[in-house]
Amino acid sequence: MFLCVSCFDQWSDSAPDPMTWDEAIKYCDELENKGHDDWHLPTISELRMRITDCPATESDGSCPVSEIDNHLTWDDLKEEFGCDGCNDGKNHSPYYSKDTGWYWSSSARSEDSIVAFRVNFDTGAVGNYNKDHKFNVRCIRDINW
């Protein structure tokens, strides 16, 4: 499991309301939070760094969906609707009760421009959905590894 506790300051507070994918991109681009204004909507790879205690979908897990490896097609999903998480009743975010439900990533499905990837911190699942649906948003600043 990859967990960068010192990296938490690189994540914004959660947006106050769910929003569409386009709204999320704009929100992060215009956000001023924690004394910074250089935020962006995280890629699916960056968002998966926040999954905890769910080995299959954590950053180094078996779920192949990744911006880094350019695995952003329907065929990269493990199941019909995504990579199953850990339906164990635990929250799978390092912020625990603060991150619940689905969160948008900036990673669009390569063969379908109206669909983008997302993560559910209630289960650790990775999936995709139409960009016009409203989901939660948390922005990230560039992290130099």
pLDDT tens per residue, range 103-120 = 999 999 888 889 999 999
Q: Would you place residue 102 in the very low, low, confident or very high pLDDT band (cuts 50, 70, 90)?
A: very high
The per-residue pLDDT of the chain, averaged, comes to: 86
Region 68-88: mean pLDDT is 77
- 58: exposed, middle or buried (C-beta count within 10 Å: 0-12, 13-18, 19+)? buried
- CA distances to 9, 40, 118, 125, 130 from 141, rounded to whole Å, are 9, 6, 18, 23, 25
Q: What is the pLDDT of residue 80?
A: 63
pLDDT at 99 over 50: yes
**CB of 39 closer than 8 Å to CB of 12:** yes
- Sheet with 102-108, strands from edge to edge, namely 82-83, 125-130, 115-120, 102-108
- The domain limits of the chain are 12-140
pLDDT at 3 over 50: no
Q: Would you place residue 144 in the very low, low, confident or very high pLDDT band (cuts 50, 70, 90)?
A: low
Question: To which residue do tokens 């704009």 refer?
Answer: 26
Q: What is the pLDDT of residue 120?
A: 94
pLDDT tens per residue, range 35-74 = 999 999 999 999 999 899 999 899 888 888 888 877 787 7
Q: Does the pTM exceed 0.75? A: yes
Which amino acid is present at 48? R
Q: Residue 26 CB: number of other CB atoms within 10 A?
A: 13
| Size (the chain), residues | 145
Q: Would you place residue 134 in the very low, low, confident or very high pLDDT band (cuts 50, 70, 90)?
A: very high
Region 88-102: mean pLDDT is 82
